[in-house]
Structure 1
Amino acid sequence: MNIGIRAHDLGNLSIEKLAESVARNGIKAVQLALTKSFPELNLQIGSLSPGLGQYIRDIFHKYNIQIAVLGCYVNIIHPDLKERHRLLEFFKEHIRYARDFGCSVVGTETGNVHVEMGYTPDNFSEKAFIEVVKSVRELVEEAEKFGVIVGIEPGVNHPVYSPRMMKRLLDEVPSNNLQVIFDPANLLTVENYTHQEEIFCEAMELFGDHIVVIHAKDFVIENNKLVFVPAGKGLLNYRVLFKMIKYKKPYINILVENTKGFDINKSIEYLERVYETV
């Protein structure tokens, strides 16, 4: 396995301390959201530079850690068009300097039609999807100039909420610089979680060739709601998932998220154990 972690789950540490903490946990890759891991840098449009990218890359490289994804999870369909433009420009800046971080993927979800992020049926309209296409197309056009991948993460709370919607987005923006960050738990609901195998199979059939990163977390059902928990502590069928990817996607980055403290090593051990036995 090529297993990693979402870096800000380790807390707000200095760049060197964060790299040390990742290495201490025996982890070889991270998804690095600069604004979440290093809020003290106060990064704005115009803040990124080759120097910053190379500085962070060199520290992580010293500990043999890959920056697998630059996380820039912004609302790409923000209803305030001025704010949307600002957020898209910030994402483009990540694209332009991603290679300086030793990274080729910049990731996000597909946003929300409202200012406040969270579940709303308004996200499931045709109009919302069209706005997603416009923004993703703009980001991909920038990515094509720099040889970088825009990684889109589908999820049930967003306009790209199902395998079919993800496939539709790939068809609408037909570029090899658009790929998928696949978090299987993000496609599950209270209504469909008992059909995991069907949903995972559909995803693999529709866009398996476009998956570049996998997120790993788990879920339980509490008070008729789906609640995320660390991998190995819930109901997600990793045996089914790993059977699908083990030989189709050798050494793909599998990044643990929503996992902290002692649960990190426990989750990694669980994932490795399941992976070895499929």
Structure 2
Amino acid sequence: MINVQLAFLTACLGDRSLDRIAHWAAGNGYDALEIAAWPGHSREHTANHLDVAHLDQRLVDETRALLALHGLGISAISYYDNNLHPDEAERHRVHEHLRACVRAAAELDVGCVGTFVGRDPGKTVSENQHIAARVLTPLTKYAAEHGVALAVENCPMPGWHPDGYPGNLAYSPELWDWMFELGFHLNYDPSHLVWLGIDPVTAISRYGDRIAHVQAKDTQVHHDRIDRYGVYGRATERVDPWDSGWWTYRVPGLGDIDWTRVVDALHVAGYSGAVAVEHEDPVWSGTEDRVLTGLRIARDTLRPMVRP
């Protein structure tokens, strides 16, 4: 068992207010929230549970009071979008909103903002790296000046690439080493490592000191389907850009990850942040009741191993 807070990313309850989410979380065994803070015009999400673009002292005080009322903390303020978007105007909008998230985190004494590196899908990895050195380093410096870590989730984001290839250049340890040089930290999510063939426990043992935040999501591999699609997933049969055809994200406990080993590795590494459930399980989605059931399943899986 490790002494960290159990949280969940609020994006799975995008239609609920932060007040209602906090009330439910406190009554159902959660210690904290990873607060989704996408802008209202986002192409990715409508989940905006903290209006960072219009944050003032009143909103800061109201947010503090709400969480205190329910005995909850904030594990991170998160906005996962493409920081290397090929359209420079859109990239500027993404960066400005990310800076607003950083300022909000500083005002609320939250040490972490969750984000992506992203990618220009029309350019090679090397070309993207050259762009990143120029346009992303100012973001990490801005965060550091505010006492905030920009923690990048290691999600490949295949839906951002026209052929389902990685759309977020932070999916492997090779790229982690590079993004650390830019000043980013790691938002470790083992679910992505599973289908990439990377051992989640080995990744922790080698990079545990660079983990600023942990997301808990599981992956179910359908071994009978990989013989048809291969590791790159559906090609001509990919109607949904996010559907590989041979693996599915699940809530913790319903996939292939050995959470006892993962939590043990985090303990050995000395991790002291939060573990935040990211609910993207299609089986337990579709209605609010199903989403809440999924969050309860995740809680029941992780609570025996995680305590505040």
**Category of TM-score, reference length = shorter chain:** 0.7 to 0.9
Number of aligned pairs? Answer: 255
Task: Measure, in 1, the Cα distance between the counterparts of 2:27 and 2:47.
Answer: 17
Residue 240 of structure 2 aligns with which residue?
none
1:106 and 1:151 in contact (8 A); partners too:
yes
Classify 1:28/1:124 alpha carbon distance in 2 versus 1 (closer, same or farther; 3 Å).
farther
Shift of 1:62: 1.3
What amino acid maps onto 1:179 in structure 2?
H
Residue 77 of structure 1 aligns with which residue?
84
Alignment of 1:14 onto 2:17: yes
Residue 267 of structure 1 aligns with which residue?
298
Question: Which secondary structure state, in structure 1, belongs to the residue aligned with residue 54 of structure 2?
Answer: coil
Shift of 1:34: 2.4
1:57 and 1:102 in contact (8 A); partners too:
no
What amino acid maps onto 2:191 in structure 1?
A
Question: Which secondary structure state, in structure 2, belongs to the residue aligned with residue 246 of structure 1?
Answer: helix
Identity of aligned residues (%): 21
1:2 and 1:253 in contact (8 A); partners too:
yes
Classify 1:268/1:251 alpha carbon distance in 2 versus 1 (closer, same or farther; 3 Å).
farther
String of CA shifts for 1:157-191, please: whole Å, max 9, x gaps: 32122012101221x22x5xx321100112232x6
Higher relative contact order (CA 8 A, sep 6+): 2
Task: Measure, in 2, the Cα distance between the counterparts of 1:188 and 1:20.
Answer: 33
Classify 1:252/1:82 alpha carbon distance in 2 versus 1 (closer, same or farther; 3 Å).
same
Task: Measure, in 1, the Cα distance between the counterparts of 2:130 and 2:55.
Answer: 30
Task: Measure, in 2, the Cα distance between the counterparts of 1:250 and 1:168.
Answer: 22
String of CA shifts for 1:204-255, please: whole Å, max 9, x gaps: 31x2111021111111123332210111001112222122112433543011
Alignment of 1:181 onto 2:184: no
Residue 205 of structure 2 aligns with which residue?
204
Residue 255 of structure 1 aligns with which residue?
276
Residue 174 of structure 2 aligns with which residue?
164
What amino acid maps onto 1:159 in structure 2?
L
Shift of 1:77: 0.3
2:208 and 2:271 in contact (8 A); partners too:
no
Task: Measure, in 1, the Cα distance between the counterparts of 2:73 and 2:292.
Answer: 21
Question: Which secondary structure state, in structure 1, belongs to the residue aligned with residue 220 of structure 2?
Answer: strand
What amino acid maps onto 1:95 in structure 2?
V
Task: Measure, in 1, the Cα distance between the counterparts of 2:134 and 2:114.
Answer: 17
Structure 2 gap ranges (5+): 39-45, 157-165, 227-245, 282-290
Residue 238 of structure 1 aligns with which residue?
259
1:163 and 1:203 in contact (8 A); partners too:
no
Question: Which secondary structure state, in structure 2, belongs to the residue aligned with residue 56 of structure 1?
Answer: helix
Higher relative helix content: 1
Classify 1:166/1:50 alpha carbon distance in 2 versus 1 (closer, same or farther; 3 Å).
farther
String of CA shifts for 1:61-119, please: whole Å, max 9, x gaps: 211111110011121000011110111011111112212233121111121314xxxxx
2:205 and 2:269 in contact (8 A); partners too:
no
Greater than 6 Å deviation, 4+ residue runs: none
Task: Measure, in 2, the Cα distance between the counterparts of 1:124 and 1:154.
Answer: 18
Task: Measure, in 2, the Cα distance between the counterparts of 1:153 and 1:135.
Answer: 19
Greater Cα offset, 46-55 or 12-21: 46-55
Shift of 1:26: 1.6
Shift of 1:203: 4.5
Classify 1:37/1:59 alpha carbon distance in 2 versus 1 (closer, same or farther; 3 Å).
farther
Classify 1:129/1:186 alpha carbon distance in 2 versus 1 (closer, same or farther; 3 Å).
farther
Greater Cα offset, 60-69 or 220-229: 220-229
Residue 43 of structure 2 aligns with which residue?
none
Question: Which secondary structure state, in structure 1, belongs to the residue aligned with residue 117 of structure 2?
Answer: coil
Alignment of 1:4 onto 2:7: yes
What amino acid maps onto 1:151 in structure 2?
A
Question: Which secondary structure state, in structure 2, belongs to the residue aligned with residue 212 of structure 1?
Answer: strand
What amino acid maps onto 1:262 in structure 2?
T
Task: Measure, in 1, the Cα distance between the counterparts of 2:135 and 2:274.
Answer: 26
Task: Measure, in 1, the Cα distance between the counterparts of 2:30 and 2:270.
Answer: 19
Structure 1 gap ranges (5+): 115-121
Residue 119 of structure 1 aligns with which residue?
none
Classify 1:167/1:100 alpha carbon distance in 2 versus 1 (closer, same or farther; 3 Å).
same
TM-score normalised per structure 1 = 0.82
What amino acid maps onto 2:33 in structure 1?
V
| Equivalent residues in 2 for 1:23-62, closer than 5 Å | 23-35=26-38, 36-38=46-48, 46-62=53-69
| Equivalent residues in 2 for 1:22-171, closer than 5 Å | 22-35=25-38, 36-38=46-48, 46-114=53-121, 125-156=125-156, 157=166, 158-170=168-180
CA RMSD of aligned residues (A): 2.4
